[in-house]
Chain A
Amino acid sequence: MDIIKGKVIVLGDDVDTDQILPGYAMAEPYDQLGKFAMAGLAGVDFKTVYEPGCILVAGRNFGCGSSREQAPIALQQAKIALVIAKGFARIFRRNSINIGLPVWVADVADSLRTGDQIEVDLEKGTITVNGEKKQFQPMSENVVKTLSYGGLIPRVRAELGIKD
Chain B
Amino acid sequence: MNLVEKYLAKASGKDTVSPGMDLTCRVSYVAAHDVTAPIAIKMFRQIGVKKVFDPERVALIVDHIYPASSEKARDNVWTMDDFAKEFGVHIFKRGEGVIHQLMYEKYHAQPGELVVIADSHTGTCGGYGAVGVGVGSTELAAAMATGQLDLEVPEVVQIHLTGKRPANVFGKDLILYLGSRFGTDHLVDRALLFTGPGIEELSISERMTVCNMGIELGSMITLFGTTAREPDTAEDLELDLGTLEPMIARPFSPANVVPVKEVAGTAVTQVVVGSCTNGRLPDMEQVVNAFRGKKVDPAVNTLIVPASKEVLEQMEERGWCKIIRDAGATILNPGCGPCFGAHEGLTSARDVVVSTTNRNFPGRMGCMKANIYLASPATAAATALAGKITVPTL
Contact = CB atoms under 8 A, between A and B. Distances in A.
A131 to B, nearest CB: 33
A19 B341 CA distance: 12
Contacts of A89: 185, 188, 218
Interface string A145-164: 00000011100110000101
Interface stretch (A58-66, A75-83, A117-125): A58-66
Which of A68, A73, A99, A157 has the most B CB atoms < 10 Å from its CB?
A: A68
Nearest to A26: B35
B64 to A, nearest CB: 7
Contacts, number: 130
B138 A152 contact: yes
A30 interface: yes
A40 to B, nearest CB: 4
A23 B342 contact: yes
B362 A64 contact: no
Nearest to B137: A69
B220 interface: yes
B250 to A, nearest CB: 14
Given A18-B359, A153-B47, A67 B252 contact: no
A29 B364 CA distance: 20
Classify chain B: how many residues form its interface, as a range.
35 or more
B136 A153 contact: no
Interface string A32-69: 00000000101000000000000000001100111111
Nearest to B71: A27
A164 B216 CA distance: 40
Nearest to B138: A98
A91 B151 CA distance: 12
Classify chain A: how many residues form its interface, as a range.
35 or more
B46 A153 contact: yes
Which of A24, A26, A66, A67 has the most B CB atoms < 10 Å from its CB?
A: A67
B361 interface: yes
A42 B368 contact: yes
Contact of B361 (A19, A87, A94, A162): A19
B27 to A, nearest CB: 16
Contacts of A60: 184-185
Interface of B: 35-36, 38-39, 43, 46-48, 64-65, 68-70, 72-73, 118-120, 122, 134-139, 141-142, 184-185, 188-189, 216, 218, 220, 252-253, 340-342, 359, 361-364, 366, 368
Given A69-B137, A94-B136, A95-B136, 7 more contacts: A19-B361, A27-B69, A27-B72, A40-B363, A67-B119, A70-B39, A73-B39
